[in-house]
Amino acid sequence: MGAITTRADLDALYSRAETAASAEERATCLRDIGAALEAVENPGERARLLMCRTRVRSNQWHTREVLQDALVAMALFEEAGEPGRALEAASLGAGFASRLGEISLAAELAAMCIPGMGSLDDGVVAEVANRLGIFCYSFLV
């Protein structure tokens, strides 16, 4: 894949990241995301690429890396003036922080998400609520 030059390119990469099943597909996605990160300076686009990378890594036992990407993406979305996307990243961070046993960080991130959920689109609210459910579930196990 060439450089990410349009929103459609980013959407296509995000779609590939969601469906990458084999080790080879994941490696290709991660390579393309890395190349795009080197070429993109806009904070919002960089944050989207980091969230894309979390999709590839999230079910591959890269919990620490997913948490780190989510936290950086949250800060970049805030810098870009995209508070809804920052909440999405924070909710992802909360779920993965709780998986790592970092309950204090997870609780802080979850507390950031709850007040802003009313301003999110319905589909995003469902994703955020699911991620916060992962955080809550960590208290039961």
Q: What is the pLDDT of residue 82?
A: 93
What would the mean pLDDT of 47-67 be, rounded to a whole number? 90
Task: Give residue-wise pLDDT tens across range 74-132.
Answer: 999 999 999 999 999 999 999 899 889 898 999 999 999 888 888 888 778 888 888 88
- Among 72, 71, 54, smallest CA distance to 63 is for 54
Is residue 38 one of the residues assigned to a domain?
no
Q: What is the pLDDT of residue 56?
A: 92
Q: Is the confidence at residue 41, as pLDDT, over 50?
A: yes
Is residue 4 one of the residues assigned to a domain?
no
Distances (CA, A) of 45 to 24, 68, 80, 141: 25, 17, 9, 36
Q: Is the confidence at residue 1, as pLDDT, over 50?
A: no
Is residue 33 one of the residues assigned to a domain?
no
Is residue 32 one of the residues assigned to a domain?
no
Is residue 72 one of the residues assigned to a domain?
yes
Percent above pLDDT 90 for the chain: 50
Domains in the chain, number: 1
- From the centroid of its chain, how far is CA 48? 8
Domain that holds residue 126: 43-137
Q: Are 50 and 69 in contact (CB under 8 A)?
A: yes
Q: What is the pLDDT of residue 59?
A: 73
Q: Is the confidence at residue 2, as pLDDT, over 60?
A: no
Q: What is the pLDDT of residue 72?
A: 98
Is residue 67 one of the residues assigned to a domain?
yes
Q: H helices of 1-141, where? A: 7-19, 23-39, 43-57, 63-79, 83-99, 103-116, 122-137
Q: What is the pLDDT of residue 141?
A: 67
What would the mean pLDDT of 28-38 be, rounded to a whole number? 92
Is residue 18 one of the residues assigned to a domain?
no
Is residue 116 one of the residues assigned to a domain?
yes
